[in-house]
Structure 1
Amino acid sequence: MPDAGRKRSSRRNTPPGGLGAARVAGAALVLLFGGGLVVSTGYAAINRVGAPERALAVAPWDARAHSLRAERAIADGSLSAAAVASARADALAALRRDPTLVASWRTLGLVAASHGDGAAAARLFAVSERRSRRDLLTQIWLIEDRVQRGDVVGALRHYDIALRTNPSGHDTLMPILVAAAGQPAVAPALGRLLRSRPPWAENYYYRLSQAIPDAQVMAGMMEVARRGGPLPNAETIAGMIPTLVERRDYVAALRLASVLSGTTVRMPKGVWNGDFAAENRYPPLDWAVAQADGFGGEARGTAAGGHALVAFAASENSGTVARQILMLAPGNYRLATRFARTDRPPAVLRWRVACAQDPKAPLVDAASDPARAKTGSWTFRVPAGCAAQWLSVDVTSGDPGGGETAIEHVAVGAAG
């Protein structure tokens, strides 16, 4: 018959350093996952269940009522001697009637753990898991046990089981795994888990996009995951790139674009997609095109069979139609543009180049009016310390009916 003895486990008294490198990963996991997760996440819910005493007053042999009363005895986490003794007695009574009750095995495991008997607790929770892998509180205890052992892979394996079998636990467990993507001791193993394409992966990537951790570590995790094939939820993952660029973490942004494309993505020496012939897959590494109320841009074919970005604005409206990040080395450059009128009144374009860290001090700030010329050319100098630059084009229309201009080509190259 199951019991929860008081013999203390030698594993709990392992001398410092005894686990070697595993302790480093374990320390990271302890910081990451924290302690007391069982009590804080699961047992509070037990207090919402009806009082089992009423059932036992009518049917003192009711195994489920004994099991529930055992859970409730230690639900507040106080683990007083009286509460622990009551929980143990009820759990044993429940199992004498019905040895399949997972909650009672779990309760005995917690009782053993409260006595410091880690070995007995591990055996009892192993029985609980064999009875049902769907018991979330059992999986959480097993996660914490693997954390204490410094077993990253084991902890993640139980996270996987918990997420597969308990969608209701996602709100509790997912934020922890999101943080894990930024932990160097955990991220590679997490990437290997994601490589297997678990059913919760799409939800995970969405949550990751909402709370990006250390970007370089996260990018490395995704590179590991990508070895199993294209990642799910690619559009959501691509949505992280603008955030990384705004943070000026350009290397991580390029690594993420490479993960999504399956090939190494490198910044060009000038403008990306300057003739607008390709899809803008990873803005603002390539063109980020605006669609706003009163102005915007759209890709169109030209009469000559080429491509253009048509910038349009309603009367008296203006705004940034398109922009992209450049990574030009210090030196002298020339911005060259070519544009054409459409069958609507022309709109005036304003071109700007500015260091990403100082956008209010442009290196280029010039207007081009297609009513007067079809090209524009301006020289500028990138100073030292200006690692990246924003290239942007604004549109303005003074015509009562609005206007538009077709931008056919944009290039930035070295100037003599």
Structure 2
Amino acid sequence: MAALFCGLASMLVILITVSTTLRYRAPDIAIKVWPWNGEARGVLAGRMLLKGELLGAQQLAKQAVRQVPGDAISLRALGMLQPARETTGKALRIMQLATKASRRDLQTNLWFIEYYVSQGDITSAIRYYDYGLKSSAEAESLLFPVLVPAMANLDIAAAVRAKLITRPVWTTSFLQYSFSSGEADDHMIGIALSMAHDRIGLPIDLKRQYVQRLAERGNLQGLSRFVRGLGQPLLEGTSTLSKIGDFPPADWRLLSGPDLSTFSNSNAGFSFIANQNGTLSERILHLKPGFYSLHLGLRLDNEERDTRLLWSIDCLPDNRIIPISAAVNQATFVVSKDNCSYQKLSLLIKNERLADGLEVSGSVTDMNVKRIHEIP
């Protein structure tokens, strides 16, 4: 008798274990293996709900709640089956029980986001965005594309700012997404600056990413506002150009390739090794209308005196070329009043013998731009 009892107990344990293992992956089989698996019934009810099989889903959900009264998935399935008119009554009460049972059920959090948005309760909606983003790996791909465009609403942007300043676990991935999407720049610039100046700050790679994306999208006013807020405004007026800053192309972007390499050196400036003609570096300026001069200090490591460094400057965003009058290491140009608030300045290397295999190396120093006088 004892052996029979032990055998039955072992079989019971096996059935329950198998059913528990299958409750998410194959809930229908889990129920067949162990008919009292309420969690599996809740999962299956949710899947039937998504397929529109409402009658069967409701029956399973009720059975699941009776078997496991505190199961979040079962409660959620039952709550979502209530008629739309019940969202402030029975459905809401059931869904509140579901979220008390678990903050980590993504579909429950999605339901509450939609509910609170419909009620105009932005603070509560953002709270459930937070719960949802903490609930599963797939949540970011579902919620970020909804949340970022919604920040065109000032109230939503303010609520997101308040949440981000608390540094939830999804902060970095959200900033990376929002910086790259370009759908909420006007609001993200303010949020990013607030976070950059708080106690924790922003990692420099995130700041660089945002500077580069603003430049790539041609959002020059946003770029100017952002780097100015970081304490490194776009170069304007009379300034040195030698310093290699942290935020290209608001600072120098040093360009490199198989036959041309540019890198910062220990002094104020940068060095280069070139086996071909091409662009060494470029940056965005914010020069006001006026007459300007450029000066360049150049030190070559060999005696190849035919090497020249040339300036090129264009108006942004339409890339209209600004004529330059150049002499050796000197140049002058005019920034007009005609839609040329921002400019791209490029520095190029040229030597006809580079195409024949010549290699030239050297350093750029003492670079500056000076406004000679304003346009009358």
Give me the TM-score of the superposition, normalised by structure 2.
0.82
Asked if 1:379 is matched to 2:332, the reply is yes
- Alignment RMSD, CA only? 2.7
Asked whether the equivalents of residues 228 and 234 of structure 2 are also in contact (C-alpha less than 8 Å), the reply is no
Asked if 1:403 is matched to 2:360, the reply is yes
Report the equivalent of 2:38: 63
Asked whether the equivalents of residues 299 and 308 of structure 1 are also in contact (C-alpha less than 8 Å), the reply is yes
By how many angstroms is 1:56 displaced?
4.6
Report the equivalent of 1:352: 312
Q: How far apart are the structure 2 equivalents of 1:128 and 1:281? A: 48
Q: How far apart are the structure 2 equivalents of 1:348 and 1:192? A: 53
Report the equivalent of 1:50: 26
Report the equivalent of 1:18: none
Asked if 1:295 is matched to 2:260, the reply is yes
Residue 137 of structure 2 is aligned with which of 132, 143, 167? 167
- Return the letter of the residue paired with 2:311: W
Asked whether the equivalents of residues 61 and 77 of structure 2 are also in contact (C-alpha less than 8 Å), the reply is yes
By how many angstroms is 1:70 displaced?
2.3
The 1:195/1:75 distance shift into structure 2, 3 A limit, reads same
Q: How far apart are the structure 2 equivalents of 1:323 and 1:247? A: 17
- Return the letter of the residue paired with 2:370: G
Q: How far apart are the structure 1 equivalents of 2:44 and 2:284? A: 62
The 1:355/1:254 distance shift into structure 2, 3 A limit, reads closer
Other structure's SS at 1:239 match: helix
Asked whether the equivalents of residues 202 and 233 of structure 1 are also in contact (C-alpha less than 8 Å), the reply is no
Asked if 1:146 is matched to 2:113, the reply is no
Q: How far apart are the structure 1 equivalents of 2:251 and 2:43? A: 59
Q: How far apart are the structure 1 equivalents of 2:166 and 2:183? A: 22
Aligned residues: 347
Report the equivalent of 2:214: 244
Report the equivalent of 1:363: 323
Asked if 1:274 is matched to 2:274, the reply is no
Report the equivalent of 1:286: 251
The 1:343/1:270 distance shift into structure 2, 3 A limit, reads farther
Asked if 1:234 is matched to 2:204, the reply is yes
Q: How far apart are the structure 2 equivalents of 1:228 and 1:159? A: 23
By how many angstroms is 1:343 displaced?
3.7
By how many angstroms is 1:145 displaced?
0.8
Report the equivalent of 2:50: 75
Residue 348 of structure 2 is aligned with which of 376, 381, 394? 394
- Return the letter of the residue paired with 2:371: A
By how many angstroms is 1:233 displaced?
4.0
Q: How far apart are the structure 2 equivalents of 1:174 and 1:96? A: 36
The 1:225/1:232 distance shift into structure 2, 3 A limit, reads closer
Q: Which residues of structure 1 form unaligned runs of 5+?
A: 1-45, 369-375
The 1:338/1:360 distance shift into structure 2, 3 A limit, reads same
Report the equivalent of 2:293: 334
Q: How far apart are the structure 2 equivalents of 1:91 and 1:357? A: 59
Q: How far apart are the structure 2 equivalents of 1:64 and 1:246? A: 50
By how many angstroms is 1:129 displaced?
0.8
Q: How does 1:102-141 map to 2 (within 5 A)?
A: 102-114=72-84, 116-141=86-111
Q: How does 1:294-313 map to 2 (within 5 A)?
A: 294-301=259-266, 306-313=267-274
Q: How far apart are the structure 2 equivalents of 1:231 and 1:199? A: 15
Report the equivalent of 2:371: 414
- Return the letter of the residue paired with 2:274: A
- Greater RCO, CA 8 A, separation 6+: 1
Give me the TM-score of the superposition, normalised by structure 1.
0.75
The 1:135/1:365 distance shift into structure 2, 3 A limit, reads farther
By how many angstroms is 1:126 displaced?
0.7
The runs of at least 4 consecutive aligned structure 1 residues that moved more than 6 Å come to none
Other structure's SS at 2:215 match: helix
- Return the letter of the residue paired with 2:291: N
The 1:94/1:105 distance shift into structure 2, 3 A limit, reads same
Q: How far apart are the structure 2 equivalents of 1:202 and 1:117? A: 34
- Return the letter of the residue paired with 2:102: S
Q: How far apart are the structure 2 equivalents of 1:159 and 1:60? A: 35
Q: How far apart are the structure 2 equivalents of 1:271 and 1:215? A: 30
By how many angstroms is 1:107 displaced?
1.4
- Return the letter of the residue paired with 2:248: P
Report the equivalent of 1:323: 282
Q: How far apart are the structure 1 equivalents of 2:246 and 2:34? A: 66
Cα offsets for 1:259-291 (capped at 9, x unmatched)? 5x3x4x433434665233xx4111111211112
By how many angstroms is 1:85 displaced?
3.6
Asked whether the equivalents of residues 192 and 225 of structure 1 are also in contact (C-alpha less than 8 Å), the reply is no
Cα offsets for 1:381-406 (capped at 9, x unmatched)? 11112111111111134253311232
Identity among equivalent pairs (%): 23
Report the equivalent of 1:26: none
By how many angstroms is 1:64 displaced?
3.1
Other structure's SS at 1:291 match: coil
The 1:115/1:56 distance shift into structure 2, 3 A limit, reads farther
Q: How far apart are the structure 2 equivalents of 1:313 and 1:165? A: 52
